[in-house]
Structure 1
Amino acid sequence: MTLGESELILNPDGSIYHLNLLPDDISDTIITVGDPERVKSVSKYFDSIEIKKERREFYTHTGFCKNKKLTVISTGIGTDNIDIVFNELDALANIDFKTRRIKENKTRLNFIRIGTSGAIQADIPVDSFLLSSTAIGLEGLLHFYDSEHVRDLNLESELASQLRWEKFGIHPYAVSYDEKLANTIVSTDIRLGITVTNSGFYGPQGRTLRVPPKIKDFNTKLANFSFENRLITNLEMETAGIYGLAKLNGHRAVSLNAILANRITGEFSSNGFKTVDRLIKYTLDKLVS
């Protein structure tokens, strides 16, 4: 099947529409960060940078770190942006832009998210690291795709039964990490946990400024949920979309979280930039070792 111009949208120079990238601009190992400024916080540790491109909130650097080719790209915040970034990165790897046809031989990409997050268990310290073994999406992205075969339907059923949030229009989906990729990164310095991906930062994460949230016990209900002796550990805004789209396209993905807040104890990191920098250096060391 040939993909139409309104489906696979290319710029006049042949680059993919939103990311402004050509197929040769990316590595098969891709670090994603939310903040465009964090791209250079990662690439400053590269030995060389071969590609620097940007459009809107999507900044990309590709280079070499100890002879390993790496790409770091900013996604912006939220799974709406994840939908753009991950579909277009897959297109760069697995669609022939000249013929507009899907390649017969697929390239599997490795995605590593380096992000920030807030814990909802009191025993998770601020400034610690957490790897999401499972992500639960409350924002609905994967319901727009034929995705049941990559989801943890048992976890979804248990969570829906306990929360009873259908009346609020919330239908959780759950997707697990790639264990093989995770095994190259985990250590005693990183805790595993179940991460909830939210559609926003304030009301959708139970925060109250001037407008009260509709679900009053949002974080308490999530924190009290247990599945196979595992608890929900933290909240953020991208991981479930990353895991879902990566698996649907045959890629590997893990999400690393720098815990900057604990919503139960009320703590917020006073060394957030240093904590994120430690996580960046830790991740790069694992990827090139």
Structure 2
Amino acid sequence: MNTKPGLFPASPCSAADLPIDADGRIYHLQITPEQLAPDILLVGDPGRAEFIARTFLHDLEVEREHRGLVTATGTSRATGGRATIISPLRTTVATSGMGTPSLEIVLNELVALCEIDFATRTPKPLFPRLHIIRVGTSGGLQASTRLGTSIITAYALGMDNTGLFYETPCPDQTCARLEQELAHVIEKAARPDSRFRGKIHPYVSRAEPAVVRALTQAAQELGVAARTGLTVSNSGFFVPQGRDISRLRPSTPELDRIFSEFDPGLDGMRVENMEMEASFLLHFLGGLGHWGGAICPVIANRRHNTFDHDYLTAIEGATKTALLALAALSTRRDSALRD
């Protein structure tokens, strides 16, 4: 059990700030605290959440759909590649929706379910550390990254602004350095006549290193093609990711190319992929002391302009990797509790 850094509200959360229905369920996810497991898979697509729940989880305790958000809790039975059988793990799979604004709602509710006593609306003195891994899809930025490769995020470059509303210190000097360097790179790449030139300032967040190691080990055990790198989280799918298909000019053209060419100076790691959620996931959880990570198969290669129409196979591999990593991380958490 943990007590975590950060300031809790001085008084109980109001009914307006934390809506709870007559059955004790939080407003958007429509589950109770008892129905949440501390080991969580987060996916953007509600259909994918249903698929994972019914394919990889057994003995489902709850499966709820509300406002397009599917949340299910059951038991996963992760198996490693060397006939390693991990103890069954109580696991929740939840829908984040598309983009960081939707994710912000879901993450706050997941954390509230863990940290707040719903009977009194006050913070619990002790609560388990959450382990949350995003399993998503992404566009690959490096020509050498083959379709279907799972990208394990080490750092996320936040091109959204959701994280800017939550004050947390930089996790390390790398985050601080990259924020400065990327602000300069993006300002230089903006159109000289753009009204928004100099106003786009990325924030950088870090995946929990233990989660990165667990995902890397699990991918190796399962024989899943994976690569560790940096992930760009964008505020949209089209122009924010360099897809210029509308009649409005982009303020900063070819963002996909700009990031693909950027050298982060991290022992050969490159900016590997673009998606829309990892930045805030890692920023928010890291600031609270919970552990977050992301593994996102490349289903499009932006340098080759190719698309993987059979990407479900890669999603299944990433899901198995994430479940095996959660099982290993849970064992470590249980061992720390006993010590």
TM-score (norm 2): 0.81
Instruction: For 1:196 and 1:147, locate their aligned partners in 2 and report how far apart those are by CA, in whole Å.
Output: 19
Of the three residues 249, 260, 267, the one matched with 2:288 is 249
SS in 2 for 1:148: coil
Q: Which moved more, 1:276-285 or 1:27-36?
A: 276-285
The within-5 A match list for 1:134-283 is 134-150=155-171, 152-164=175-187, 167=197, 169-187=199-217, 188=220, 189-211=225-247, 212-229=249-266, 230-283=269-322
Equivalent pair of 2:149/2:298 in contact (CA under 8 Å): yes
Larger radius of gyration: 2
Equivalent pair of 1:75/1:81 in contact (CA under 8 Å): yes
Instruction: For 1:274 and 1:130, locate their aligned partners in 2 and report how far apart those are by CA, in whole Å.
Output: 15
Instruction: For 2:137 and 2:147, locate their aligned partners in 1 and report how far apart those are by CA, in whole Å.
Output: 11
Q: Which moved more, 1:84-93 or 1:161-170?
A: 161-170
> What percent of counterpart residues are identical?
30
SS in 2 for 1:213: coil
Of the three residues 57, 74, 92, the one matched with 1:63 is 74
Instruction: For 2:183 and 2:161, locate their aligned partners in 1 and report how far apart those are by CA, in whole Å.
Output: 14
Deviation at 1:163, TM superposition (A): 2.0
SS in 1 for 2:12: coil
Deviation at 1:159, TM superposition (A): 1.2
Letter of the 1:154 counterpart: R
SS in 2 for 1:185: helix
Letter of the 1:241 counterpart: F
SS in 1 for 2:129: coil
Letter of the 2:184 counterpart: S
* Count of aligned pairs: 289
SS in 2 for 1:253: strand
Equivalent pair of 1:207/1:213 in contact (CA under 8 Å): no
TM-score (norm 1): 0.95
Deviation at 1:12, TM superposition (A): 2.1
Instruction: For 1:169 and 1:288, locate their aligned partners in 2 and report how far apart those are by CA, in whole Å.
Output: 42
Instruction: For 1:32 and 1:105, locate their aligned partners in 2 and report how far apart those are by CA, in whole Å.
Output: 24
Can you list the C-alpha shifts for 1:236-259, whole angstroms capped at 9, x where unaligned?
000001001111222101100110
Residue 89 (structure 1) aligns with: 110
Deviation at 1:158, TM superposition (A): 1.3
> What is the aligned-residue RMSD (CA, Å)?
1.7
Deviation at 1:168, TM superposition (A): 5.7
Deviation at 1:11, TM superposition (A): 1.6
Of the three residues 139, 143, 158, the one matched with 1:122 is 143
Structure-2 change in CA distance of 1:227 and 1:269 (3 Å): same
Gaps of 5+ in 2: 1-10, 78-87, 191-195, 329-339
Deviation at 1:217, TM superposition (A): 2.9
Letter of the 1:244 counterpart: H
Q: Which moved more, 1:37-46 or 1:142-151?
A: 142-151
Q: Which runs of 4+ in 1 moved over 6 A?
A: none
Of the three residues 104, 110, 116, the one matched with 2:125 is 104
Gaps of 5+ in 1: none
Q: Which moved more, 1:66-75 or 1:222-231?
A: 222-231
Of the three residues 60, 64, 68, the one matched with 1:53 is 64
SS in 2 for 1:274: helix
Deviation at 1:50, TM superposition (A): 1.1
Q: Which has the higher strand share?
A: 1
Can you list the C-alpha shifts for 1:121-178, whole angstroms capped at 9, x where unaligned?
1111111111010001111111111123447212101111222156263110001101
